[in-house]
Amino acid sequence: MKHNTCSHCCLKIENLFVHYGDDVILEDIHLHVNCNEFIAVTGPNGAGKTTLLKAILNEIPYTGTLHYRIQGSLHKKPIIGYVPQKLYFDLDSPVSVADFVGISISRRPIWLGLGQRLNQHIQDMLTKFDILPLINKRIGDLSGGELQKVLLAIAMTPTPNLLLLDEPDAGVDARGLLRFYQHIIDIKKEYDISIIMVTHDLEGVSAYADHVVSLNKRILSKKDLRIKKEFSHV
């Protein structure tokens, strides 16, 4: 069943600059992300890939404009889901997946317990993303792939218009990576959302992304992979 979040949603970035002191981190970025597009952003370390996501999240100062069109409106504020590059936590912490998800999606203080309604919501959410067996597992005991699935489930609650993924492939083995890419494609199709993913896995992601953007402080190129895929089936 497809859950449409919008009849048309897009992000248009124009003349985006980010400075850190006298250093230029991002320079004259122009990028248009259409509805139901999966864009992979690649580039060397220090190219500004994570900075681009933080600018979209409005977590850092920038100059330029970011235009969103959500459900045909230019004035609606988009719902943005975000999976960070790294998550720092105490590996010895007794916090379970249920506790972690509860903290992330609810304002209810964890020391009050999850409560019946929130606990059921968490179970439904983990079931939807096929990770219910992880519910009582400690966060510190999760594998890289398992943790990314939990973070992805949180980022998809509530369903966003735009999903940002910052190197979710880090620490995931090759087999897990293929499953992760397929999961991303299934999410894109089911929820009709736009996805921007920062990655170093150019070869792997090219089989799934609609576009690959090469970034090194400014956009060097943007390859349309849909044409390649269409011709490959002729």
- SS3 of the chain: helix, strand, coil, percent, to 5: 35, 30, 35
In the predicted model, is pLDDT for residue 230 greater than 70?
A: no
Confidence of residue 233 (pLDDT cuts 50, 70, 90): very low
Mean pLDDT of 21-45: 93
Q: Which residue has the higher pLDDT, 97 or 233?
A: 97
- The span from the CA of 180 to the CA of 184, in Å, is 6
In the predicted model, is pLDDT for residue 174 greater than 90?
A: no
Mean pLDDT of 88-96: 80
Of the candidates 223, 186, 181, 218, which has an alpha carbon nearest to the alpha carbon of residue 199? 181
Mean pLDDT of 62-76: 77
Residues 189 and 181: beta-carbon distance below 8 Å: no
Q: Which residue has the higher pLDDT, 50 or 112?
A: 50
HEC-encoded secondary structure of the chain: CCCCCCCCEEEEEEEEEEEECCEEEEEEEEEEECCCCEEEEECCCCCCHHHHHHHHCCCCCCEEEEEEEECCECCCCCCEEEECCCCCCCCCCCCEHHHHHHHHHCCCCHHHCCCHHHHHHHHHHHHHCCCHHHCCCEHHHCCHHHHHHHHHHHHCCCCCCEEEEECCCCCCCHHHHHHHHHHHHHHHHHHCCEEEEECCCHHHHCCCCCEEEEEECEEEEEEEHHHHHHHHCC
Confidence of residue 90 (pLDDT cuts 50, 70, 90): confident
In the predicted model, is pLDDT for residue 7 greater than 80?
A: no
What is the per-residue pLDDT for 4?
A: 47
pTM above 0.85, yes or no: yes
Q: Which residue has the higher pLDDT, 228 or 54?
A: 54
Residue 144: phi and psi, rounded to 5, are -60, -45
In the predicted model, is pLDDT for residue 147 greater than 90?
A: no
Task: Tell me the pLDDT tens digit for each residue of 180-227.
Answer: 888 889 988 888 899 999 999 888 899 999 999 999 999 999 888 875
Q: Which residue has the higher pLDDT, 16 or 3?
A: 16
Between 77-86, 112-121, 147-156, the lowest mean confidence (pLDDT) is in 112-121
Confidence of residue 14 (pLDDT cuts 50, 70, 90): very high
What is the per-residue pLDDT for 229?
A: 57
In the predicted model, is pLDDT for residue 167 greater than 70?
A: yes
* Domains, the chain: 1-79+160-234 (3.40.50.300), 89-157 (no CATH)
Mean pLDDT of 150-168: 92
